[in-house]
Structure 1
Amino acid sequence: MTTAAAPSAVRTELFGPDRRATTIGIVLLISLVAFESMGVGTAMPALVADIGAVSLYAWPFVAFMAAAVFATVLGGRWCDRAGPRVPLVGAPLLFGLGLLVAGTATGMTQLLIGRVLQGLGAGTQAVAVYVLVAAVYPERARPAVFGLISSAWVLPALLGPPISGLVTETVSWHWVFLGLVPFVLLAVALVVPAVRRLEPPDPEREVTPARRGLVLGALGAAAGVAALSWASQHGGVIAAVVAGIAIVVLAPALIRLFPRGVFRAGRGIPTVVLSRGLLAGIFFTVNAYLPLMLNGTHGWSLAMAGVPLIVGSLGWSAASAWQGRHPDLSRTVLLRIGFVLLAVGTAGMLLVAPSWGLPWLALPFWVAAGTGMGLGFSSMSFLLLQQSAAGEVGFHSSAAQIADQLTTAAMIGAGGALLALLGTPAAALPLLVAVLTAMAVLGTLVAGRASAPR
């Protein structure tokens, strides 16, 4: 097959009669989780004012995060042992049940139960989708699949907050949850035909041996990530102590949940998992603090301060789509280029974050960072499946997602600690950006080790 013919052939692999419903269903499933993720933050002030107290503001986020981490681990194990058929249907329905419970909540207890159900569904679903992609799509089509999955986050990032705000102000925050339920049912209906065609797992295939204490490891990871998430939303000494305890709890848990060699950038899967953590931790931490840089330090309006986030998302989407049309390019090379662009974009924030900085530079630099994410994240996902045997996809994808969640929570928490210690964004955020830039340089240096061992 020639390179020129590749885009048409790949499009057929994705949207031909046999896979059209599956592709649309996957994109819809990812988009629903993304809309919920982007919209809840906008609705949360009104929600808490209605049924809770400001002191409880962080708990709906923490409950979701803890449940998602726990489900990611156990969902990965389930998919490796028994296949993704039950999780692909059960996880979205569990997520939809969580939407119903949260959307009809009249008190904080019911809301938290709903958020836990949503987290369990979202965590399991994320792993099951990876396993489905490995089972259904040929290797040559996977870059385009991951490009679509990345794009599935862009529209929610752009439209989720304003739609959620409009719904909350004109109808009720309840419909931020309830309005998504019909789309969950549609997504499940689209995925069911593919699930029916999946054959049972080969009983002779190799499956990653169960690690001792897997459930305890999952609980430890859930508690640790939740504690880091809570600490990231609270300043002061107590938050620092909680973050320290979280790290102590996480250390033994991660030994059970990560492939060997992650922390020394072992060749192949260990570096792929490490890359996922670095990419997500760097990009989403800057994303979290960039509006504060522009609003708190340079006086931009909140609306204008959100523009770099939009252009970064568009850069991510465009780069993801581009790499999907070039399946013959080396994914290891693209991963390294992605890290280089992310390093450039992050380092550029050193010219934005200080009080003497030039705030308009956030726009071009964050386009570069978003482009790097579009190339790097999709390439990392491709390499993960390429190097995973049929009985390992769940374990490896769950490890990558935990690395993502852990690094993001830890670095956002570090930013909160610096703000509490130094007092102002102009003093604290340049230090945070310097650390994140060093992480991006590290990613650039080790990206070549993401290729399979020879």
Structure 2
Amino acid sequence: MRAVGAAAPGIMSGTFLWITIGACALVFLGAFESLAVTTVMPVVSAELGGERLYALAFAGPLATGVIGMVAAGNWSDRRGPTAPLYSSVAAFVAGLLIAGLAPTMEILVAGRFVQGLGSGGMMVALYVVVARVYPQDKHPAIFAAFAAAWVVPSLIGPTIAAVVTDLWSWHWVFLGVVVLALAALFMVVPALRGLSRDGDTSTPWALGRLAWSVLAALAVLALNLVGDVPGVGPVLAVGAVVVALIAVRPLVPRGTFIARRGLPSVILVRGLVAGAFFGTQVYVPYLLTDRYLLTPTLAGLALTGGALAWSTASTVQGRMGARLSNVIALRIGTALVLIGIALVLATAAFGWDALVIVAAWIVAGSGMGLMSPRSSVLTLSLSTPANQGFNSAAMTVADSFGSAMVLAITGTLFAALATTADPFTAVFALTVVIAVVAVILAPRVAGGRVHEEVGA
């Protein structure tokens, strides 16, 4: 059942109120958990003696999330998004319980794997819910709300996690989210009742794509682990990139890797921008603390400014609706991300004032706030009911793979140059190149027809 009509009420009206609140709450909790764990993991690792598994606790959820994305997308196309969403939230909650009650680091990492599986599937199922429940002219607004729900945890998540850990225990950073996740799911249940069978059972189970997603997940995991291997780290990283690219081809629309006009280019540009943005963001506070000797709190203000700009730009584009075309918003947003990263590069290379980095990241965050929601809108508008799940999964896979591969490559590059050159300038130069490619390809998102094919 899909809402229609030009005079449809707003996303916070009585018709959509609870589904909007519940869906945004699930997005918020997924983002909050990701950031909160970053804050408490040093404490967890010290208490459980798990220093050797520290990196895996972060890489694992990213890898298993890819499998959840593909499975939820295929399941949604066959049976509608209801069962995939319920199952994904169940996996997310199970992972939280395992991690929160973990007596050892090994069990905690296992819980993180389950948590990532559920989180990845949950996001894809929610995108399909948007396509089935909200009228198309409300998509910019709901995706703006999703973007805000994803950004707000970057402002409050670390602080809340630190307070909870200090007052009680790190266990409650995981366990406290369980009740909130179940409450959020309860809010969306009424809107999902009519979608239980809203799918196409003739759509086959894509077991091959699921197998490719497992291989791709392993490659993503390897990208985060092999860079520090003495001597052969760069070679292993290149091999992992090749495997990841081969494995991801069946998980995205046909023509993605050749930037075919329309949806394939939307997916490709989104992955490139995500890689350029997050590949830079990881090193911004590092640069500020290492070279400018700022405290971690002050260095984090740059990321806070970017997060606020992202949220603000998302809200603005959502209110503008059709007055700002999807294509123009995506092209402007991509250009702003490039400008922001280029300013960070210039600051690192020429020793400009640290405030330039803060301003630059506000510019880059504004670009993400424009392009991210509108690329989601374009993805759904260029999809059919039969492939909304696949295309939504492809969009989230592009985010994960773009970010994971760029982070792995920049990590290897940074380590290789740490003692012989300026690693920050090298890393930012690479992300600028990636952003330039995204800007060049951005015009190709226009002119495509509704995409009915799958597989690159």
TM-score, structure 2 normalization: 0.93
Pick from 353, 359, 366 the counterpart of residue 354 of structure 2. 359
Q: Render the CA deviation track for 1:205-256: whole Å, top value 9, x for unaligned.
A: x85x666722320111110111113346x47535434422322322331222
Matches within 5 A, 1:330-369: 330-354=325-349, 356-369=351-364
2:173 is the counterpart of 1:179: no
Structure 1 distance, partners of 2:40, 2:207, is 41
Question: Once superposed, what is the RMSD of the aligned Cα atoms?
Answer: 2.0
Q: 1:211 to 1:53 in 2, by over 3 A?
A: closer
In structure 1, the residue matched to 2:48 is 51
- AA aligned to 1:255 is R
In structure 2, the residue matched to 1:413 is 408
Residues 80 and 199 of structure 2 are in contact (CA less than 8 Å); yes or no, is this contact kept in structure 1?
no
Structure 2 distance, partners of 1:182, 1:31, is 14
Matches within 5 A, 1:97-246: 97-198=94-195, 200-201=197-198, 203=200, 207=203, 213-231=208-226, 234=228, 236-246=230-240
Q: CA deviation at 1:179?
A: 1.0
- AA aligned to 2:285 is P
In structure 2, the residue matched to 1:286 is 280
2:23 is the counterpart of 1:26: yes
In structure 1, the residue matched to 2:453 is none
Q: CA deviation at 1:355?
A: 6.6
Structure 2 distance, partners of 1:413, 1:442, is 19
Residues 69 and 402 of structure 1 are in contact (CA less than 8 Å); yes or no, is this contact kept in structure 2?
yes
Query: Which range moved further: 161-170 or 65-74?
Result: 161-170
In structure 1, the residue matched to 2:386 is 391
Q: CA deviation at 1:182?
A: 1.0
In structure 1, the residue matched to 2:3 is none
In structure 1, the residue matched to 2:452 is none
In structure 1, the residue matched to 2:67 is 70
Q: Render the CA deviation track for 1:63-113: whole Å, top value 9, x for unaligned.
A: 212211111111111111111111122211221111111101101232122
In structure 2, the residue matched to 1:325 is 319
For residue 320 of structure 2, give the secondary structure of its aligned residue in structure 1.
coil
Structure 2 distance, partners of 1:85, 1:359, is 48
Q: How many percent of aligned residue pairs carry the same amino acid?
A: 39
For residue 145 of structure 1, give the secondary structure of its aligned residue in structure 2.
helix
Q: CA deviation at 1:126?
A: 0.8
Structure 1 distance, partners of 2:255, 2:407, is 25
Pick from 300, 305, 313 the counterpart of residue 299 of structure 2. 305
Residues 263 and 448 of structure 2 are in contact (CA less than 8 Å); yes or no, is this contact kept in structure 1?
no
Structure 2 distance, partners of 1:253, 1:391, is 23
Structure 1 distance, partners of 2:408, 2:359, is 26
2:368 is the counterpart of 1:373: yes
Structure 2 distance, partners of 1:70, 1:353, is 37
TM-score, structure 1 normalization: 0.93
Residues 281 and 407 of structure 1 are in contact (CA less than 8 Å); yes or no, is this contact kept in structure 2?
yes
Query: Which range moved further: 12-21 or 234-243?
Result: 234-243
Pick from 252, 258, 270 the counterpart of residue 258 of structure 1. 252
Q: Render the CA deviation track for 1:154-196: whole Å, top value 9, x for unaligned.
A: 2210111111122222321111101111101111100111111
For residue 354 of structure 1, give the secondary structure of its aligned residue in structure 2.
helix
Structure 2 distance, partners of 1:425, 1:341, is 32
Structure 1 distance, partners of 2:370, 2:112, is 32
Pick from 83, 87, 91 the counterpart of residue 84 of structure 2. 87
Query: Which range moved further: 178-187 or 159-168?
Result: 159-168
- AA aligned to 1:423 is A
For residue 118 of structure 1, give the secondary structure of its aligned residue in structure 2.
helix
Q: CA deviation at 1:393?
A: 1.2
Structure 2 distance, partners of 1:16, 1:169, is 39
Q: How many residues align?
A: 443
Pick from 248, 267, 272 the counterpart of residue 273 of structure 1. 267
Q: CA deviation at 1:48?
A: 0.8
Q: 1:114 to 1:440 in 2, by over 3 A?
A: same
For residue 230 of structure 1, give the secondary structure of its aligned residue in structure 2.
coil
In structure 2, the residue matched to 1:295 is 289
Structure 2: 5+ residue stretches without partners = 1-5, 450-456
